[in-house]
Structure 1
Amino acid sequence: MNVPFLIARRYFRSKNKRNIITIISNISMIGVAVGTAALIIVLSVFNGLEDLVRTLYGKSDPNLVISATKGKAFDVDRTFLMKLENTPGVALLTQVIEDNALLQYHDRQMVVKMRGLSDNYFGQSQIDANIREGDHRLHRDSLDVALVGAGVQHELSITLNNRLAPLRLLYPRNTAGRKTLSMNPEEAFNQESLIAGGVFLIEQHIDDSYIFVPISFAQRLLGYTTRRTALYVKVGQSFEIDQVKNQLRKQLGPDFKVQDSDEQHVSLFKAIKVEKLFVFITFTLILLIASLNIFFSLSMLVIDKKKDIAVLLAMGANQLAVRRTFLYVGAIVALVGAAVGLLTGVTLCWLQQRFGLVSMGMATSVVESYPVKMQVSDIAFTCLSIVLITLAVSIRPALNAGNLDLRENL
């Protein structure tokens, strides 16, 4: 029989006295419950936002991107491409030329990210499902056609399929060997024109700055022949992305980078994880502050139960048993509050996932309600924090209880 636990449970459930100790204990439980529920909910929201970002970028991101370790572009030839295409797991290989360019439409202009794509790009991207106006084709008969982001279209007031007023893209010419840049735009910039055939709506950063063009158009504008800035790889369904990524890294060597979707946006995901860590630390400190009430209630309980402690010691209980009794009291108070908080937090997150109780409140939002995703690791770390905090605030009162002088309190 665990006598210290039985006594601790009796102290916790005792209703004989509705004194200040009971009130403080109840406040402690409520504080722990609220802090635990808030921690679970906030961490789940961060998980949901991380998944949302992955989903948004996944609409345009390829499975893998091959780029040069040094420099902006690299040379490719047919042998190099065939070697990559024959790699196990590579289902599709898309050639890409991407760079900044000046976009002009009527009397308006802005700097955009121009992405030149080979014709098979839409075989590995879901972007054709995100076309808001027009269609996704980059060629119509003999004409080059551009896809523009919704933000770019709004900024320049672009009209689709306007052959009388096409888009004009300018890119600085290679000035190697020249000491100064010509002030004449005809000499200083390469210029190419094409019509806008579609508008895509993916993610704000992409929508506000990107324009997709045929790779042949980008070659002419930038003066590239066999040079490419990236190669996009679609991985076969029966292959693991990490497996193909490691195989390509071994095959290409240190001169090339092979990145999956998370590695392409490593700074963004790192920022989300850092924010999540700081939120966890902040709410853990709030839990610690709420748990200080446990310290005060245990300290007052030790004073109130001096005679009980003296009787236990006189009956043969040792100091360790007395200390364990008050540690159990603190643990019961904290764990009851934590259990209520965990149940509340998990229930609210489940309701949000199921019914979308809290909406984003924005008409232009890509999702109607706040995304949440519960993870076992978050619940485990929350429980571990509560255990450590409970021990931290309960040890001192328990030590004081074990050190009471028997002769003075009988």
Structure 2
Amino acid sequence: MNVPFLIAWRYFRSKKKRNIISIISNISMIGVAVGTMALIIVLSVFNGLEDLVRSLYGKSDPDLKITAVQGKSFPVDAFLVNRLKAVPGVQLVTEVIEDNALLRYHERQMVVKLKGVSENYYQQSEIDSAIVDGSHELRRNGEDFALIGAGVQHELSIALENRFAPLQLLYPRNTPGKKTLSMNPETAFNQEPILAGGVFSIEQHVDDSYIFVPLDFAQRLLRYDNRRTALEVKVREGRSLDDTKSELKQVLGPQFNVLDSDEQHVSLLKAIKVEKMFVFITFAFILLIASLNIFFSLSMLVIDKRKDVAILMAMGATPNIIRRVFLMEGAIVAQVGAAVGLALGISICWLQQRFGLVSMGMATSVVNSYPVKMQASDVLWVGVAIVLITIAVSIRPALNAPQIDLRENL
């Protein structure tokens, strides 16, 4: 029989009188419950945002992306492509040329991210499902077309398939032996016209900067010849992504990076994780402050129960048993509050997932309501934080509890 727990539970359930100690204990439980609920909700929102980022970029991201360790581009030939295709997990290899370019339309211009892709690009990308106007095809009837982001179209007021005013794409001309750019625009830039054939909407960062064009168009404009900035790989269905990634690394050697979807956006996902960590630390401190009421209520309880402590010690209770009684009392107050907070937090997250109670409040948002995703690891970390906080605020009153004069209190 756990005597310290039984005594602590009796103190917790005692309804003998409604004094200041019980009021402070109730405030402590409410504070812990609110802090725990807030932690669960905020951490779940960050999980939801992380998943939202993955789903948004997943429409245009390849399963695996091959880039050079050093330099912006690398030579690609049929032999290299065939070696990659020979890897059992590889279904498709798309050649990519990606670089910044100047886009001019009528009298307006802006710097865009130009991405030239080979003809099999749409066999592995879902970007065609993000088309909001026009067609996703980059080549029709032997003519090149550009697929532009919704933000780019809005910025330059681009009309689709305007043959009287096609898009003009310019790229600095690299003249051997010259380190400075010519002041004459006709000699300083390579220039190619192209019609806008379609508009896509994926995510604001992509929509505001990207233009997709056929590979040979990008090759002509950027003068890349047989060089590519990346090779995008689609993994066969049923094959392990990690195994295919390892096999590609063995084939390519240390001169190449093989990046999965998370590694392609490592800085963005890392920023979300860092923000989540700092939010957890901040809310844990708030929870600690809310739990200080436990310290005050226990300190007052120790004073109030001096007679009980003296009687227990006279009956043979050791100082360790007395300390455990008050530690248990603090733990019960904290854990009851935490249990209520967890129940409320999980319930609110479930309601948000199910019914989308809280909207993003933006007409242009890609989702109507705040995304949330509950993870068992978050509940575990919140539990660990509460245990540590409970020990921190309860240990001092518990240590003071056995330090009484028996003669004065019997």
Task: Normalising by structure 1, report the TM-score.
Answer: 0.99
For the residue of structure 1 that corresponds to 2:258, the secondary structure is strand
Inter-partner Cα distance in structure 1 for 2:308 and 2:108: 85
Aligned match of 1:63: 63
Report the residue type matching 1:308 in the other structure. Answer: D
Aligned match of 1:333: 333
Alpha-carbon offset, residue 240 of structure 1: 1.3
Aligned match of 1:274: 274
Alpha-carbon offset, residue 178 of structure 1: 2.7
Alpha-carbon offset, residue 109 of structure 1: 0.7
Inter-partner Cα distance in structure 2 for 1:120 and 1:169: 23
Inter-partner Cα distance in structure 2 for 1:139 and 1:179: 36
Is 2:138 the counterpart of 1:154? no
For the residue of structure 1 that corresponds to 2:401, the secondary structure is helix
Inter-partner Cα distance in structure 2 for 1:340 and 1:59: 40
Inter-partner Cα distance in structure 1 for 2:258 and 2:219: 23
Inter-partner Cα distance in structure 1 for 2:384 and 2:68: 44
* Distance 1:278-1:179 versus aligned 2 partners, 3 A rule: closer
Output the aligned Cα RMSD.
0.8
- 171-180 or 51-60: which moved more? 171-180
Q: How does 1:93-104 map to 2 (within 5 A)?
A: 93-104=93-104
Inter-partner Cα distance in structure 1 for 2:341 and 2:45: 16
- 179-188 or 104-113: which moved more? 179-188
Alpha-carbon offset, residue 316 of structure 1: 1.2
Alpha-carbon offset, residue 403 of structure 1: 2.0
Alpha-carbon offset, residue 77 of structure 1: 0.9
Inter-partner Cα distance in structure 1 for 2:178 and 2:50: 48
Equivalent pairs, count: 410
Aligned match of 1:80: 80
For the residue of structure 1 that corresponds to 2:110, the secondary structure is strand
Aligned match of 1:33: 33
Aligned match of 1:380: 380
For the residue of structure 1 that corresponds to 2:66, the secondary structure is strand
Alpha-carbon offset, residue 398 of structure 1: 0.8
Alpha-carbon offset, residue 5 of structure 1: 1.3
Aligned match of 1:287: 287
Aligned match of 1:174: 174
Aligned match of 2:228: 228
Inter-partner Cα distance in structure 2 for 1:178 and 1:285: 59
Aligned match of 1:16: 16
Alpha-carbon offset, residue 289 of structure 1: 0.6
Task: Normalising by structure 2, report the TM-score.
Answer: 0.99
In structure 2, the gaps of 5 or more residues are: none
Aligned match of 2:363: 363
Aligned match of 1:44: 44
Report the residue type matching 1:39 in the other structure. Answer: L
Report the residue type matching 2:174 in the other structure. Answer: N
Report the residue type matching 1:130 in the other structure. Answer: A
Inter-partner Cα distance in structure 1 for 2:280 and 2:64: 32
Inter-partner Cα distance in structure 1 for 2:180 and 2:15: 90
Alpha-carbon offset, residue 180 of structure 1: 4.2
Inter-partner Cα distance in structure 2 for 1:126 and 1:239: 19
- The alignment-based identity, stated in percent, is 72
Inter-partner Cα distance in structure 2 for 1:328 and 1:223: 74
Is 2:239 the counterpart of 1:239? yes
Aligned match of 1:399: 399
Alpha-carbon offset, residue 181 of structure 1: 2.8
Report the residue type matching 2:299 in the other structure. Answer: S
Inter-partner Cα distance in structure 2 for 1:224 and 1:384: 55
Report the residue type matching 2:243 in the other structure. Answer: Q
Inter-partner Cα distance in structure 1 for 2:179 and 2:380: 64
For the residue of structure 2 that corresponds to 1:160, the secondary structure is coil
Q: Deviations over 1:212-259 (max 9, x none)?
A: 000010011011211101000000111111111111112111111110
Inter-partner Cα distance in structure 2 for 1:266 and 1:76: 26
For the residue of structure 1 that corresponds to 2:289, the secondary structure is helix
Aligned match of 1:131: 131
Alpha-carbon offset, residue 55 of structure 1: 0.3
* Distance 1:296-1:193 versus aligned 2 partners, 3 A rule: same
Alpha-carbon offset, residue 26 of structure 1: 0.3
Aligned match of 1:6: 6
Inter-partner Cα distance in structure 2 for 1:123 and 1:374: 33
Report the residue type matching 2:143 in the other structure. Answer: L
Alpha-carbon offset, residue 182 of structure 1: 2.2
Aligned match of 2:314: 314
Report the residue type matching 2:172 in the other structure. Answer: P
Report the residue type matching 1:171 in the other structure. Answer: Y
* Distance 1:3-1:113 versus aligned 2 partners, 3 A rule: same
Aligned match of 2:351: 351
Structure 1 ranges of 4+ moved more than 6 A: none
Q: Deviations over 1:284-312 (max 9, x none)?
A: 11111111100100000000111111011
Inter-partner Cα distance in structure 1 for 2:248 and 2:190: 35
Alpha-carbon offset, residue 23 of structure 1: 0.4
Q: Deviations over 1:56-83 (max 9, x none)?
A: 0001000011011111110011111100
Report the residue type matching 2:157 in the other structure. Answer: S
Q: Deviations over 1:299-344 (max 9, x none)?
A: 0000011111101111111111111111111111000000000000
